[in-house]
Structure 1
Amino acid sequence: MGVPAFFRWLSQKYKKIIKNLAETYVDEGKGERYMDVDWSEPNPNGVEFDNLYLDMNGIIHPCVHPEDKPAPETEAEMFAAIGEYIDRIVAAVRPRKILFMAIDGVAPRAKMNQQRSRRFKTAREINERNEVEQHIRDEMLAKGLRPPTKKAKAHFDHNVITPGTEFMDHLASYLRDFIHHRINTVPAWKDLRVILSDANVPGEGEHKIMSFVRNQRAQDGYNPNTRHILHGLDADLIMLGLATHEAHFTILREEVTFQSTKCFRCGQEGHRSDDCPGLGRKRKSGDDHGAPPAARPKALQFLHLWVLREYLAAEFASLEGTLPFDFDLEHIVDDFVFMCFFVGNDFLPHLPSLDIREGALDMLTELYKRALPALGGYLTDGPEVNLSRVDVMLAEVGEMEAEIFRRRLRNEDDSKRKRESREAQKLARKQADEARRKVPPKEELARLGKGSTPEVLAANKSAAAALKASMFGSGGGDGDADGADAASAGAAAGGAGGGGRAGAGGD
């Protein structure tokens, strides 16, 4: 479930929900190894977790086609990268009871349309890109140029990361062997209950995880203080975690930087190109561009949902004592999750007038606080939605839609005017630079000043014509030519007179 800009809005509004994670690894000169970390020791982050849940598709895709390093070329390399990442997450979290790995199975019917369109689009874009590349190569050959050599690399179709493919079957077999090997060789794994839900089990990975959590809560003797942590980048994991109503639930995700400051030399973030660590090292070929440093994995962060629950309690505390029914934080959390569906959802179309970047969630929150006392109850009651109360909320949103669209149109017009103004200024600067380049330098003008009158006249006419052509276009008529001649003649006369006076003075 995609909610564009939701994580950014959340982390900026409730800043203390995010905490950087301290990692431990072993470096024996062969790179960082997380498998050898003794994570039977206490967690260095000062918090212990009982259950770790891995939404495996959030691990598979970055490992198969990473952004910050060359993609693995064979299935074996891909599976090895996935295993290394699992080792990293497990060593960072150090779960004490359960490790649950869930791979996406067949998606619900409501999401199949979205998946199908996305995958067809991906395949079409790849074909179009290949056609454009081949067209450019043919044009270069026709002009007698030699196109760059194609890299001999087998194409990997990312659409195979889909339930029912041979690739996913091989991956499930690898993960079973991986789990068996870790339990037999790593002491800390021996006390873990490891569960693998592969692509043969229907449902998205995150939904299978939530179903497991709910089943655990229903068991006799369940400890309500169990600490859960779920790894994944999808914004919907935040809402799913809130919907569990667990007292201790955390999301683990890679650090997200909203303003990219990548070095264009090495592609890494955190430094500028002139400060690139690779500048100090010479390549074997002898060129003076430094070799890029080895890619470091992105830092990990905790997103503590129990802190977010406290923020929501403070946000809606003003409702307590104003409601004709009991104030219940759990109902408010459910209503908050439900309202988030209006701004982004993989299963339902979102409302076009609501965009988080335009303050839609802030508007819905204020509208909810204002309308709730008169609604007679909450928008949701467990899995049930009270449609009559939701209708009142949507009617309020409908009254604001016209102004929202007008404001959006004004903003688009302002952006267009600013863009056109910048382009006009850029063009004016370019024309001025070209005009300055066409004017003879001072040394040339001084040399011409000492020459004969015909030479001065010719130089002045040439400079004036070039200047006019660059400033007003090259299509000047007879009047322009006459004006240039007159101006040149006047300048020549002045120059000649000056020369005569200088000569007289010399005599």
Structure 2
Amino acid sequence: MDKVFYIYKFIRSSQKIVTNLSKNYAFFFIRDRYNIVSPIEKKNFDKIRVDNFYIEMNEIIHENLVTNVEAEIFSAICDYVNELVLMVKPKKLIFIAVDGVAPRAKMNEQRKRRFIKTSSGEFDSNSVTPGTSFMENLSTHFKEFIHNKIKNDKVWKSVKIIYSGHDVPGEGEHKILKHIRNSESKSESDCIYGRDSDLILLGLMHYKPNLKILSSNEFSLSGNNLNSRIFEIKFLGTLRRKLNEEFSKLWNPKPFFEFNIESIIKDFILLVLFMGNDFIPTLSNINKGLDEIISIYKKILKECGGYIYDAGNLNKKRLEIIFKKLGVLEREPFKNSKQKFIEVESDNEEFLRWKKKYYRNNMMIKEEQDQKHLIKPYIESYIEGLQWILSYYEGSLKSYRWFYPGYYSPLISDLEDLETIEIKNFKDEDYYKPLEQLMFVLPIKSKKLLPVAYQNLMSDPRIEEFYPTNVNVIDNLPFINEKILLSVLESAKNNLTNEEKQRNEFGNVLLFEYDELSKKVGMQILVP
């Protein structure tokens, strides 16, 4: 029994919004089912060799927002990073990645989180967004910190340091995995520090034999005191081996098509995405956890005749097979207790009423409207979203302005006739500029984080509907119309100061390295 799922389901039903809950469920499920975590204390880390140490900064920054004084926050962040480096003692590389501008698909989730976070009288944690003066000042401080550590500390002096700051677009974990994916040596030991569950999925997809994920146990957090923290190491090699053992058994004694662990892993990632991610909503009304979903997947593999995610593309026919099986589970709460079962083809009245209510409440589609016709764009977009995420994870996508146009998924039982859906070729689209992202994600209570020229735009009649002041609308925040917003920003851009214009430009990935001959710290720009 998937105990973690039932805890997750209970909490989710008790709260209107639970940030990151679905992703956390997936993380705990993988941790518990495959037993990939080993606790380790700081004093015992010397036993583990790490050649390349990658630090995802988002968690560290947020954990150290301990005061309203910027200098104290910056000092706390740098102290924590230094303690980590001294604990791990990497031999070749330190790669520090800060979240830059995110794809539009993630901005909808960021927007919800930032509307929730805003609280008057405290430090505005929404400052931790690319484009703010806080992030600009932190980056300046951090580069000085790196320079000084290389100059004065032998651990820092002996390795290369790569810094990809907030002004370099892309999520921190994707910057890290891109570097790992492009690295020449497959035998070096890589360790990523971060607690984002995406790291497990990305690490699986871009596998290296000696890749580990290090994180602090979230139940042992105690400020900057690393000595009192319990750390966890997740061994992705162990997870890969256990997935291989679990699924390769299905090919014995009779193979039904060629076994490929890479394809199994991508299908496994797809199944995890059903339960939650940052880009499209969790599949609604899944009444079982990942245990049951994986069990169904195993049963349908032979019927599918191949992998669901095959050669870089979703096989919609095979995807529909698993949705049909999950759709049966969706109906279970509506079964008549006197009946042994209900035929899939004959929806009972209670189930139909519930479906109509679901779409009325969550997609504003009234019962008297043609619901089947009106939900079709959501179905198409949801399937498109699954393809978008997997392509994004693979690193083969540069379409950064695509997004799912809703906060809820279609119901599983409506995910049918998928072969009629044409998944478009995602066109290359650049990231938004930093100040544009701020306008996409910030609530009006955080408008002071914007340039002065943009602050009053949130009350401009052309776009004021995008910035409601009633927190109760979190579940149905209006989606921002890109063309209208960018047009309004264009009309105000000449009022930006030079410093604000600079904050709106993208920066570069930087390499810091100590030169023994000159006894100086060198810095050069790398190609992102």
For the aligned pair, the TM-score class normalised by the smaller chain equals 0.5 to 0.7
Q: Are 2:162 and 1:195 aligned?
A: yes
Aligned residues: 314
| Amino acid aligned to 2:138 | L
2:123 corresponding residue in structure 1:
156
1:395 Cα deviation (Å)?
Answer: 1.2
1:405 Cα deviation (Å)?
Answer: 6.7
1:250-399 to structure 2, matched below 5 A, reads 250-257=212-219, 297-321=228-252, 322-354=254-286, 358=288, 360-399=289-328
Q: 2:211 aligns with which of 227, 249, 259?
A: 249
| Amino acid aligned to 2:268 | F
Q: TM-score when scaled to structure 1?
A: 0.58
1:391 Cα deviation (Å)?
Answer: 1.3
Q: Are 2:245 and 1:226 aligned?
A: no
1:49 Cα deviation (Å)?
Answer: 1.4
2:332 corresponding residue in structure 1:
403
SS at match of 1:4: helix
Give the gaps of 5 or more residues in structure 1.
Answer: 25-42, 65-70, 128-153, 217-221, 261-266, 270-293, 408-507
Question: Structure 1: how far apart are the matches of 2:140 and 2:62?
Answer: 18
Q: 1:351 to 1:44 in 2, by over 3 A?
A: closer
Q: 1:63 to 1:98 in 2, by over 3 A?
A: same
Q: Could you list the per-position Cα deviations for residues 403-439 of structure 1 after superposition, in whole angstroms to 9, with x for gaps in the alignment?
A: 15779xxxxxxxxxxxxxxxxxxxxxxxxxxxxxxxx
Question: Structure 1: how far apart are the matches of 2:155 and 2:227?
Answer: 26
Q: Could you list the per-position Cα deviations for residues 351-380 of structure 1 after superposition, in whole angstroms to 9, with x for gaps in the alignment?
A: 11236xx5x111111111111122111112
Q: 1:22 aligns with which of 10, 17, 41?
A: 41
Structure exhibiting the larger radius of gyration computed from Cα positions: 1
Instruction: Kindly indicate whether the alpha-carbon contact (under 8 Å) linking 1:21 and 1:45 is maintained by their aligned counterparts in 2.
Output: no
Q: 1:387 to 1:75 in 2, by over 3 A?
A: same
Instruction: Kindly indicate whether the alpha-carbon contact (under 8 Å) linking 2:248 and 2:259 is maintained by their aligned counterparts in 1.
Output: no
Q: TM-score when scaled to structure 2?
A: 0.56
1:176 Cα deviation (Å)?
Answer: 0.6
Q: Sequence identity, in percent?
A: 37
| Amino acid aligned to 1:165 | T
Q: 1:80 aligns with which of 64, 75, 78?
A: 75
1:55-70 to structure 2, matched below 5 A, reads 55-64=56-65
2:409 corresponding residue in structure 1:
none
| Amino acid aligned to 1:171 | L
Question: Structure 1: how far apart are the matches of 2:114 and 2:319?
Answer: 34
2:48 corresponding residue in structure 1:
47
Question: Structure 2: how far apart are the matches of 1:197 and 1:44?
Answer: 26
| Amino acid aligned to 1:61 | H
1:4 Cα deviation (Å)?
Answer: 3.2
SS at match of 1:327: coil
SS at match of 1:3: helix
Q: 1:173 to 1:268 in 2, by over 3 A?
A: closer
1:167-246 to structure 2, matched below 5 A, reads 167-216=134-183, 222-246=184-208
1:47 Cα deviation (Å)?
Answer: 2.4
Instruction: Kindly indicate whether the alpha-carbon contact (under 8 Å) linking 1:323 and 1:372 is maintained by their aligned counterparts in 2.
Output: no
Q: Which has the higher contact order (CA 8 A, sep 6+)?
A: 2
Q: Could you list the per-position Cα deviations for residues 141-167 of structure 1 after superposition, in whole angstroms to 9, with x for gaps in the alignment?
A: xxxxxxxxxxxxx73111111100000
Question: Structure 2: how far apart are the matches of 1:155 and 1:4?
Answer: 27
| Amino acid aligned to 1:391 | E
Question: Structure 1: how far apart are the matches of 2:185 and 2:204?
Answer: 18
2:490 corresponding residue in structure 1:
none
1:268 Cα deviation (Å)?
Answer: 7.9
SS at match of 1:177: helix
Q: 1:53 to 1:295 in 2, by over 3 A?
A: closer
Instruction: Kindly indicate whether the alpha-carbon contact (under 8 Å) linking 2:42 and 2:226 is maintained by their aligned counterparts in 1.
Output: no
Question: Structure 2: how far apart are the matches of 1:350 and 1:232?
Answer: 23
1:58 Cα deviation (Å)?
Answer: 1.2
Question: Structure 2: how far apart are the matches of 1:202 and 1:393?
Answer: 36
